[in-house]
A and B are shown apart, each in its own frame.
Chain A
Amino acid sequence: MQDWVEKYRPKSLADIIGNKDCLRRMIEWARDWKPGVPPLLLYGKPGVGKTSSAYALANDMNWEVVELNASDQRTKGIIERVAGATATTMSLLGSQRKLLLLDEADNLHGTADMGGARAIIGVIKSSQQPIILIANDKYGVAKEIKALCELLQFRALQARSIVPHLKYLCSAENKTCNDNALMQIAESAGGDMRAAVNMLFAAGSGADTVSEESVSTAAKDQRSSIFELVGGILRGGADRRLMEMSYDLSDTPDTVEQWVEGALPQIKNPRDRTEAYGYLAQSDLYLGRTYLRQYYTLWKYATALMVIGTAAAAGGQGVTGNIMPPARWNRMAGAKKKKLVRQSVLIKAAFAYHMPENTLRDEYLKAFGMIADKDPLSFAKELSLDGDELDYIIDDKVRSAEVMKEIKREEKEQEKKEKAAQKAAEKARKSEKTVRIQDLAKATKTEKPEQPEKPDLNEPAESSVSIGSAASKSADEPENSEKVGKSAEKKPSETQSTLFSF
């Protein structure tokens, strides 16, 4: 017997809960898909329906699915072998397409996946088949990949849209259910449908009813209230009680620390407040040591200091304001992005200048910033930076945006030139005897594997022939093949028009 997540995985897009705008766009994309249409990049938190939607879409369109994910060794060679074969060849069944699904596109970091991002770019550019990429974190996806995709964000699901689905599952499984229990599940799932279904399965398997009691043990992770703890600290509750509350929380001490931090301004007496911050700072020192040394024994000192110490300083003054989630979390979301941006800058620069990332960060980044400031355009082009990355280096949003505009403009100009070359090439080709482009491309591929780096204006006939093969080799030369790939859209020989409709 299957677990419910698999058993009730939606078969059709019509069965997917939430994110209707994304689903609509996916349908349009699939219906109008033809080679050259950019792939979709679906991103969002776990359990909101990204993978399910992709499979449901393929099912609706009667497409085969070929999937690659991070648990397969994603070296360049493997991606090209598996995906390349799928992407560039037609299915044996004739008009039927294959959907290439690249899951966890944000997990390409690390040496284990060396070259993986580049291979994916190559596959995207040369694909004759539709591709969908999936990621949790938009910022974890290489910018070069993002630039080639259409981005669709899947949002967390509302509890009230999760409940009806849970109800449906209960009736399908012949189980009676308590509405409060389902609401409780939906809320503690935090917008994650898969977690909700898992919890329901845990609460409901082997029993005829899903009751509130059975839900409480199956919940995603029970949390006793952090509000109680922080309130207790300000009110000066008994030490032991406070410590027990802190043991009971599912949050780690560093999270608790931030809640406490948020509450300390409620202590108005400057002396007491300073004392409280003193204890918190000391506590923080222990947290730092814990993580730095991976010596978890020290956690308890951090907890004791932040709980008993701050309670001592608060002197039982009571709660005078709202206890709120740490304001820093908003800031941290920004910091997380910044960290990712910094990381991608470091990777690019370390590669380009042949030095370790640490050395680069500690000793060279500042100087590079000053150098880049003089001529941001060349610098950005040299490392192929995007706006965020350039901004990180020169710390100037406006100028970075201008530079990006300039780069785009140059690219467009280049593209125009290419198109002109393409047209000229087409004319020349039409004047020749009719040889099918694809056959010719194949022929040339085997006969002369070396292709000119760029389509040359002076040799129109040659360059048009080179398109097909250059595109399939494009992994090694992404710069060049992007243009080629784009011009390939216009080729009249793509005859596989989509016949599907909804």
Chain B
Amino acid sequence: MGENNTIWIEKYRPATLNDVVGQREIVERLKNYVGAQSLPHLLFTGTAGIGKTTSAVALAREFFGENWQVNFRELNASDERGIDVVRNQIKQFARTAPIGNATFKILFLDEADALTNDAQSALRRTMENYAHTCRFILSCNYSSKIIDPIQSRCAIYRFKPLDREAITEELKRIAKNEGLTISEAAMDAIIYVAQGDMRKAINALQGAAIINADISEDMIYEITSTAKPDEILELLHIILKGNFEAAENTLNELTVKRGIAPNELINQFYRTLVNDTTLDRRLKVELISHLGEADFRISEGADQNIQMEALMARCVLSAVNHGSTK
């Protein structure tokens, strides 16, 4: 544990595989490699903040002990993409002998799915040619973007988004250490905001802790610029009643006064709709489609306010047409 880090996501980054939460099966496998002192190439897939990098670093520490930093190298493929990275940088690291008692080095290539196909092709033989001095751990969001020949060369580990228990466990540990109290509602809020992403969760906690050691629900929503799920539900009900003025007012309240980004609002609205069990399916799909359209237009550079207002108008019309306003 890095004691001197001011940023908690570093300070509380697990140093050993045992401390990695929520990926028990994967951690057990990885520990076996350490026990056997052998390692194939690995491919870690999964969304952000669920332990891919942490596991790779912890694995390197356990393999190399003291010397881990010289025998471990982290490259981010989306920073330094392209075939020349593979041909030069990676080879440079891979070809030289490991230091200390280690029999190989570990190269961690984050966001490997950002590598072009050409670069991936070059990587695949490098992986084999230098296997005696270097093992590769590739990390990516979507394994489908990694070319088959590389998948074939790796043991693949699919990291799952962290569940409620995993995040709760970790946050409680941090809270204890930092002298914080987290209310039940505040914990729910963090879990809602984080969506299975530990990095987001810890960051939200640290942000709130600056305000007060007593962490409340409101602080979490405030610090992350997120609307409360109840507020989104309220907006949905207003729309279903067909009241455009009220919908527009609520929208302004959330975006202008509270500073919630339209993108974030759309995303939250989407989550609410998908999890809803009461709405007519066709109406639900229609509303989701409106959200997607607005999201797309905003991403293309359209004016956020106009698109959001138009979104409200469209949603209200759909509600009226489906007779939900009666």
Contacts and interface: CB of A to CB of B under 8 A. Distances in A.
Contacts of A435: none
Contacts, number: 167
B33 A206 contact: yes
B289 interface: yes
A368 to B, nearest CB: 29
B213 to A, nearest CB: 35
B65 to A, nearest CB: 17
B149 A46 contact: yes
Contacts of B282: 312
B90 to A, nearest CB: 9
Interface residues of B, number: 65
Given A112-B83, A308-B285, A107 B118 contact: yes
Contact of A205 (B36, B45, B124, B148): B36
Given A2-B38, A46-B148, A69 B295 contact: no
Interface in B129-160: 129, 131-132, 135, 142-144, 148-149, 151-158
A248 to B, nearest CB: 9
Contacts of B153: 5, 46, 194, 198
A239 B271 CA distance: 12
A69 B29 contact: no
Interface stretch (B183-191, B221-229, B273-281): B273-281
B150 to A, nearest CB: 8
A195 B151 contact: yes
Contact of A286 (B118, B144, B292): B292
A199 B91 contact: no
A298 B296 contact: yes
B26 interface: yes
B81 interface: no
Given A192-B152, A195-B152, A240 B275 contact: yes
B149 A136 contact: yes
A4 interface: yes
- Which of A71, A110, A298 has its CB near the most chain B CB atoms (within 10 A)? A71
Contacts of A300: 270
B33 A205 contact: yes
Contacts of B275: 240
A122 interface: no
A71 B86 contact: yes
A496 interface: no
B52 interface: no
Interface in A391-408: none
B36 A304 contact: no
A70 interface: yes
A143 interface: no
Interface in B306-325: none
Given A46-B148, A71-B121, A71-B126, 12 more contacts: A2-B132, A3-B41, A69-B129, A71-B87, A214-B29, A217-B28, A218-B29, A221-B143, A221-B156, A293-B300, A305-B288, A309-B285
For the complex of A and B, list the 9 residue pairs with the smallest distance between their C-beta atoms, beginning with the closest: A206-B32, A301-B292, A312-B281, A202-B155, A206-B35, A46-B152, A3-B40, A1-B38, A46-B149
Interface of B: 25-26, 28-29, 31-41, 45, 83, 86-87, 91, 103, 118, 121-126, 128-129, 131-132, 135, 142-144, 148-149, 151-158, 263, 267, 270, 274-277, 281-282, 284-285, 288-289, 291-292, 295-296, 299-300
